[in-house]
A and B are shown apart, each in its own frame.
Chain A
């Protein structure tokens, strides 16, 4: 048992030594990068998606209720508004979650 623990300790030491060698060059950019990329990816589609989606709902309701073209127009305007609301919300939630804050502090 103690033998195993010794082995683990030396392994941990080896890992730490290797980490110290490679980590400073690499840093912890990967999660932060993919977070930033995903926000960028979302921003475009949030706006387009909400607009197109709302227009589709409006068009469908128009066909169903026979109120062409009023619901389409109303829903399209609401959709554009909702798209901007989505983007505004996206920019408000930009404080990093706790687990990443720790990394940034270090």
Chain B
């Protein structure tokens, strides 16, 4: 039976080793390049012949823009709009990673903890630096919410600190686990389909039907996870900018 884990194996395309560091161009890197290239080209092409009455591509580009712009405005306030390009880039990186992963034989780079953790740690450090730059040492007050009695502070403050420190872990784990689990399920059921074929073709229709539903479901998850990832970035930005 086909190995369901095999789809996650990183393969070198152009082996490269500089100063003992493995810098090979891998299948993961290839799909990152495809994602960056595709999103840039599509958006540039869509807006290059912008007209008052938009075509299909322009409507797509404009509605994506306003979707993210509204998200940033609603979740991180007017101050947050300064970081709109950052959030938009993040959304396209994650969405492209998830969606391109749905193409057969492609590679889902968001199914690797190294990638999602890299993004999440970057967001975490960026937001924390932003908080300290804005509020100086007052940013520590973030961990001690107003209106909490002194006796409860001994419990709430450590909890707030732990909750803050585990943010990059929750953020990266959610995306990675969802993408990885979804693709595993698809592969496992496809495997069932093949092995049931030796018993009877009729029986193998059942896992196939399930897989068809799962693929639709996976498309939804792909979008939803990108949405959740971006909305949380907006919320973290707001916390850093406004502190509650």
Contacts and interface: CB of A to CB of B under 8 A. Distances in A.
Interface of A: 4, 8, 11, 34, 37-38, 41-42, 45-46, 48-50, 52-54, 56-57, 75, 78-79, 81-83, 85-86, 97-100
A54 B48 CA distance: 48
Nearest to B172: A49
Interface in B194-244: 223-225, 227-228, 231-232
Contacts of B159: 78, 81-82, 85
The interface size bin for chain B is 20 to 34
Interface in B157-196: 158-160, 162-163, 165-166, 169-171, 173-174, 177-178
B155 interface: yes
A37 B228 CA distance: 9
B11 interface: no
A101 to B, nearest CB: 10
7 contacts: A45-B174, A79-B162, A79-B166, A81-B155, A81-B162, A97-B75, A98-B74
Contacts, number: 80
B44 interface: no
Interface of B: 52-53, 70, 73-75, 155-156, 158-160, 162-163, 165-166, 169-171, 173-174, 177-178, 223-225, 227-228, 231-232
A46 B224 contact: no
For the complex of A and B, 8 pairs with smallest distance between CB atoms: A49-B170, A53-B169, A53-B166, A97-B74, A82-B163, A82-B162, A45-B174, A78-B162
A84 to B, nearest CB: 8
B169 A75 contact: no
Nearest to B165: A57
A99 B73 contact: yes
B160 A52 contact: no
A57 B74 CA distance: 33
B122 to A, nearest CB: 17
Contacts of B178: 41
Contacts of A85: 156, 159-160, 163
Contact of B166 (A37, A38, A41, A82): A82
